[in-house]
């Protein structure tokens, strides 16, 4: 009896496993042959799912960001009854627990940035940023684009600072500064309707 393969699940499994490889070695230096070897799949199989390295990389970036947004949505759904400050703490925890993962995403975003003359690379960066900001907005129920950008910048900025210097960049210190804004946001002083 022939082996039944769930092609969608297999494609996703390849995308997941590529994150570490692209983050560690960089987009430009990794070849399809190397990906095939590292993932222990034939090059034919790899090309069956992804006709080029560019397509593989783009699909991986999109899939990972959407998966992160879905995971944050689960956290949001489990915390609907919580107030703003508690949801903010859950967001901080979400990022702290996945610090290594977000460091890899920063490295991958840097690779995409290097390809900025490429329209698809710019589109992916913009899309990924938008997905993350929308997930933050939805989780915190901000309805304010500038606050979305602020929280996104604080979270990604803190992870990036820790990549540079773990001793002086501290999650708790950075997040305690942001916690100071929580009462103002929760009573609506810093909230304005989101602009279309």
Query: What are the domain boundaries of the chain?
Result: 53-186
Least confident range from 105-119, 126-140, 179-193: namely 179-193
The count of other CB atoms within 10 Å of the CB of residue 81 is 6
Report how far residue 54's alpha carbon sits from residue 73's, in angstroms, rounded to the nearest whole number.
Answer: 29
Its pTM stands at: 0.82
pLDDT per residue as tens digits for the range 123-132: 888 898 899 9
Q: Does the pLDDT value for residue 187 go beyond 70?
A: no
pLDDT per residue as tens digits for the range 15-55: 999 999 999 998 888 999 999 999 999 999 999 999 999 89
Confidence of residue 4 (pLDDT cuts 50, 70, 90): low
pLDDT per residue as tens digits for the range 139-153: 888 877 888 888 889
Contact 95, 72 (CB under 8 A): no
pLDDT of residue 114: 79
Neighbouring residues of 169: CB distance < 8 A, sequence distance ≥ 6: 158, 161, 162
């Amino acid at each position: 009896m022939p082996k039944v393969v769930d092609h969608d699940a297999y494609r996703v499994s390849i995308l997941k496993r590529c994150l570490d490889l692209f983050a560690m070695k960089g987009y430009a230096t990794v070849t399809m042959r190397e990906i095939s070897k590292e993932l222990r799949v034939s090059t034919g199989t790899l090309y069956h799912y992804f006709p080029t390295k560019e397509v593989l990389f783009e699909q991986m970036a999109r899939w990972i960001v959407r998966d992160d947004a879905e995971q944050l949505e689960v956290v949001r759904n489990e915390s609907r009854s919580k107030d703003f400050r508690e949801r903010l703490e859950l967001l901080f925890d979400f990022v702290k627990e996945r610090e290594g993962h977000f460091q890899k995403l920063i490295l991958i975003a840097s690779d995409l940035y290097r390809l900025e003359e490429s329209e698809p690379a710019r589109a992916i960066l913009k899309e990924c940023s938008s997905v993350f900001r929308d997930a933050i907005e939805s989780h915190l129920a901000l309805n304010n684009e500038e606050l979305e950008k602020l929280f996104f910048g604080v979270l990604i900025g803190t992870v990036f600072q820790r990549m540079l210097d773990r001793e002086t960049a501290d999650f708790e210190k950075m997040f305690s500064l942001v916690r100071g804004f929580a009462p103002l946001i929760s009573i609506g002083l810093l909230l304005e309707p989101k602009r279309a």
